């Protein structure tokens, strides 16, 4: 079964504006909230939701479902053994219907499904990582190559019969002083303000 359809069912309900799923450890599985609520913005909410669950569990009763109503919208926060499902609803949204549909969704969230969702959610991040790593990568890669190149050249003459141990031993001390200098540079080039570097 395609799990994304289960979340589509929630979003299909009249008045529902978004849905989000994250693990109890903080990892996101799905974020279909309005665009301005990115996962970075949600970090605060996640921390506060965790605090709310923790306090209520310890000082009152273990409560899994919370509905918080505000002036024009409400939040439905439902916890399972592994995840927290968050639904953002507007005034027109029917809370009972939302509970029913989310019951079905939660029922299908098995560990295998969550693992798959986690992989899918993190795919864009993984794809983006090489892009950001591409600028410092040549510098980092060049450092160990340059350092051993000079070291084995000198060491190669006395130990010409054993080139392999000379290469394996020489790179170990060489990258240590070079690496911090190279790693300190990339943030300067990446730092942007309103689309312009400064």
Partner 1 sequence: MQAPNVIGYVYCSDAGDILEQEGNEVTVLASVLVYFQQVAGLIGESFGLEDFQEAQIQSKSLVVLCVPYKGGSFGVILNSRLKINEVITALRTVLATR
Provide the binding-site residues for partner 1, judged by CB under 8 A. 33, 36-37, 41-42, 44-45, 48-49, 51-52, 55-56, 59-73, 75, 77, 88
Give the residues across from 119 on adjacent strands.
Answer: none
Q: How far is the CB of 10 from partner 1 (least distance, A)?
A: 16
Q: How far is the CB of 97 from partner 1 (least distance, A)?
A: 14
Nearer Cβ to partner 1, position 64 or 182? 64
List, in order, residues 6 or more apart from 168 with CB less than 8 Å away.
none
Contact 15, 93 (CB under 8 A): yes
Q: How far is the CB of 117 from partner 1 (least distance, A)?
A: 22
Q: How far is the CB of 124 from partner 1 (least distance, A)?
A: 23
Nearer Cβ to partner 1, position 8 or 65? 65
Q: How far is the CB of 31 from partner 1 (least distance, A)?
A: 12
Nearer Cβ to partner 1, position 52 or 140? 52
Distances from the Cα of 85 to the Cα of 53, 78, 119, 157, angstroms: 13, 5, 18, 66
Q: Give Rg (Cα) of the chain.
A: 26
Residue recorded with tokens 């289960």: 6
Contact 13, 1 (CB under 8 A): no
Contact 174, 148 (CB under 8 A): yes
- Burial bucket for residue 55 (CB in 10 Å: 0-12, 13-18, 19+): exposed
Which helix (DSSP H) or strand (DSSP E) does residue 28 occupy?
strand 28-31
Nearer Cβ to partner 1, position 79 or 148? 79
Compute CA 53 distance to the chain's CA centroid, rounded to the nearest angstrom: 22
129: helix, strand or coil: helix
Nearer Cβ to partner 1, position 50 or 179? 50
Q: How far is the CB of 19 from partner 1 (least distance, A)?
A: 13
Nearer Cβ to partner 1, position 106 or 170? 106
How many residues does the structure list for the chain? 198
């Amino acid at each position: 079964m395609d799990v994304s359809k289960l979340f589509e069912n929630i979003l299909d309900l009249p008045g529902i504006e978004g849905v989000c799923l994250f693990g109890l450890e903080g990892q996101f599985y799905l974020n279909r909230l309005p665009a301005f609520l990115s996962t970075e913005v949600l970090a605060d909410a996640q921390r506060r939701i965790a605090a709310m669950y923790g306090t209520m569990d310890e000082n009152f009763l273990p409560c899994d479902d919370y509905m918080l109503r505000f002036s024009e919208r409400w939040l439905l926060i439902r916890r399972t053994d592994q995840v927290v499902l968050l639904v953002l609803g507007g005034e027109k949204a029917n809370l009972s219907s939302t509970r029913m549909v989310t019951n079905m969704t939660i029922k299908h969230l098995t560990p295998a499904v969550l693992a798959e969702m986690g992989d899918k959610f993190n795919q864009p991040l993984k794809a983006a990582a090489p892009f950001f790593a591409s600028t410092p990568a040549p510098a980092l890669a060049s450092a160990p190559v340059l350092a051993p190149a000079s070291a084995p050249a000198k060491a190669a003459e006395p130990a010409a019969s054993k080139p392999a141990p000379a290469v394996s031993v020489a790179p170990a001390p060489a990258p240590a002083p070079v690496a911090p200098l190279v790693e300190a540079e990339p943030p300067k080039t990446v730092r942007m303000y309103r689309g312009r570097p400064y």
